[in-house]
Structure 1
Amino acid sequence: MNLILKNLSDNLRKVVNFGTHILKWDIEKKRNGRDKNVPSVFLRNSIELGDSVSILIEKSSIEPAKILIRSLMESTFSLLYMIEKDEQLRSHSFLICRLNKEIKYYKQFIKDEKISKNFVSKFIKQEPDFELENHCNPIEIERVIKAKESLLLEDNYKEANIEFQRTCNKSKKRNNNPNWYSLYDGPNNFENLCLYLNSTILYEFQYRKYSENVHPNSVMNGFVIAGKDKADILQIRNFKECKEVFYNGINLLIDVYREFIKMRLPEKQNDFDTWYLSYIPEFEKTDLETKFKYVE
């Protein structure tokens, strides 16, 4: 079985490796403005998640790998939405949501801020003598807040920040932490993002399923029936669903590569096509060589 797992891991790593070439091409293509490289960061994150999945497959850590596949879905679908159209607007939406979230977080450490009172009260319940100043540097944090607030006032981001506030107040109950893709009346949550991207099947049959691994609702899957009224606990590093995880990792990465090339690097389309045509036989060979029958 170790050879099968290594074969799957090596094949996925080939897809990851090609992604690093795409990332290099994208970075080398000079684009002015920090917002121009937001998609690059999302691609890098997706590649790194795919690489981590390949490592876990080789070690037969399949259940933890499902958590990363779930994260990979979030990363790749966010990227697909960002580059689908209005890339600059959507990049600004991401940056503005991130900035506002960071500002809100740091203000919790400033004693005079309203949000800080609720923050500190949580600790006082556990430690009556708790003093916030003993755990942070308020002067330095105030400097960070001012720097981030100044970014919100830049001409490039004013419009997106106004839209952020509008989105926060759109419903009767204010939402202080909207998803970046919900700005400009976009999908309000990940389920609707998947619907928008025509990926509801993946959401319902993979994302929901793998969410149980993030929130330990799937722990009972560690039991297996051993006879009438009997059950055993499965060994850790159970390889049963290694092929499923492998397929998901491959498909998510290749799908995002295809769209990334189309929208950001059309001049590299031939390079992608050449690689893809050479990869398909390797995938089919690996798929054939790694067939196995699982017996509980």
Structure 2
Amino acid sequence: MIGKDDMMTEATNTVLDRRAAQERANTHFRFPRDLLQEVINYSTGMLGRCFSSIPTDATPDVGVAHIFLFRQVIELADTIEVMLSRGCVSPIRVVLRSMFESTVSLQYQLESEDDIDRRTLSWVQADIRQRRRASERIRDFEISDELTEKMPPEVQDDVLNHIDAMTVALNKPHMREVVEEYDRVRKQRRKWKQGGAPRWYSLFEGPRSFELLAKRFHWSDLYDISYREWSAVLHGQGGVQEIFQSAEGGSTTLKGLRYPIDTIYFMVNLAANFLLQAIIIISNEYRPDEANERNAWYMTEIKPKLDKLGKMKLTIERETLEW
């Protein structure tokens, strides 16, 4: 293991100045970081209380799925808080995309009391199928590629056992309705020559795309303006105009890593609001008696800080590397 003192290569400061990034974080990002941390801290307690409140007679897998999604939103918010504390702000957009998707998924599953089981189990079966397909790819790759013939027998057995376990999970009685609906929609899509597996939220006449799912909960503007940009960055296509700039004399400047961006306060505001939305959704379902206490915490500890954050503007001279 290479320790810090054993590192032979130093970063080029004009490209990556960790100390300067840390100083910026301490100067400009302390307030939004502390705000997000407070929401995260509150959500950790809510997570444990909701988990302990899953009814013992609940349909299998349903409560666990809700807890998983809520935990995922918390973990993504925590990731953003860590990135913010180190001055690594631009990649936060990629994390926000996943955070948005998880929040909307939880929102859809718990939207209607009558549809909770069907919608949640639709999500569960999609997760099971995805994991089974991953193992099937490993199995098929092992058969066709001589390089994987060296795979230890116990690993091969684990892959095959995992495929069997996922198949058993799909065949459980409480999964029958959603599996039949999946098969029906899949057959229909093939008839209409629409490739790919149906989205889990499209089952039982649900929204056909994530765009429609987002619009269902009045996230249209966020989807159209921000989500598309986040997706572009995730797929390696967005943000080029932020990195390169024309300079005097026809030269080109390149911003260093961990450079600050003007929308950072807006992004932290979104992260806090995604997590707040998830807190409201899941606590209304599993801890409804805490609504007054939760609302009081929000009005006292969070809303004034969110209002302040919404008025903050970032003005920092950006370092560039001239070519």
Q: Cα distance, 1:174 vs. partner?
A: 5.7
Q: Partner of 1:29 in structure 2? A: 53
1:100-179 aligned at under 5 Å gives the runs: 100-110=129-139, 116=140, 119=141, 129-132=146-149, 134=151, 137-171=155-189, 172-173=192-193, 175-179=195-199
Match of 1:56 in 2: 83
User: Does the C-alpha gap of structure 1 residues 293 and 197 become closer, same or farther in structure 2, counting only changes over 3 Å?
Assistant: same
The equivalent of 2:278 in structure 1 is 256
TM-score, with normalisation over the residues of structure 2?
A: 0.80
Deviates most, 266-275 or 276-285: 276-285
Work out whether residues 269 and 310 of structure 2, in 8 Å CA contact, stay in contact via their aligned partners in 1: no
How far apart, in 1, do the equivalents of 2:249 and 2:238 lie?
A: 22
- Check if 1:6 corresponds to 2:30: yes
Q: Is 2:219 aligned against 1:199?
A: yes
Q: CA, structure 1 residues 15+173, in 2 after alignment: closer, same or farther (shift >3 Å)?
A: same
CA RMSD of aligned residues (A): 2.3
Q: Structure 1's 132 and 203: CA in aligned 2 closer, same or farther, altered over 3 A? A: farther
Where do residues 213-292 of structure 1 align in structure 2 (5 Å cutoff)?
A: 213-220=233-240, 221-227=242-248, 229-240=250-261, 241-279=263-301, 280-285=303-308, 291-292=313-314
Q: Percent identity?
A: 22
Out of 191, 195, 212, the residue aligned to residue 232 of structure 2 is 212
- What is the SS of the residue equivalent to 2:208? coil
Aligned position for 1:185: 205
CA contact (8 A) 1:169 1:175 kept: no
Cα distance in 2 for partners of 1:61, 1:264 equals 35
The amino acid that maps onto 2:295 is: D
Q: Which amino acid aligns with 1:210?
A: W
Paired amino acid for 1:233: L
Hey, what does 1:19 align to over in structure 2? 43
CA positional deviation for 1:96: 1.2
Contact 1:23 1:40 in 2 (8 A): yes
Q: Residues 287 and 185 of structure 1: is their aligned pair in 2 closer, same or farther, counting only changes over 3 Å?
A: closer
Q: Distance in 2 between matches of 1:72 and 1:150?
A: 30
Partner residue, 1:67:
94
2:7 aligns with: none
Q: Deviation of residue 219 (structure 1)?
A: 4.7
Does the C-alpha gap of structure 1 residues 239 and 96 become closer, same or farther in structure 2, counting only changes over 3 Å? Answer: same
CA contact (8 A) 2:265 2:309 kept: no
Number of residue pairs matched by the alignment: 283
Query: Could you tell me how far apart the structure 1 residues matched to 2:196 and 2:40 are?
Result: 36
Structure 1: runs of 5 or more not aligned? 111-115
Q: CA deviation at 1:262?
A: 2.6
Q: TM-score, normalised by structure 1?
A: 0.86
Quick one: structure 1 residues 28 and 140, their matched pair in 2 at CA, closer, same or farther if it must change by over 3 Å? closer
How far apart, CA to CA, are the structure 2 residues paired with 1:62 and 1:131? 40
**2:39, 2:82 → 1: CA distance?**
13
Distance 1:142 1:189, change over 3 A: same
Q: Unaligned stretches of 5+ in structure 2?
A: 1-23, 319-323
Q: Which amino acid aligns with 1:242?
A: I
1:207 is matched by which residue type in structure 2? Y
SS of the residue 1:108 aligns to: helix
Give the Cα–Cα distance (whole angstroms) in 1 for the partners of residues 225 and 239 of structure 2: 18
2:124 aligned partner, one-letter code? L
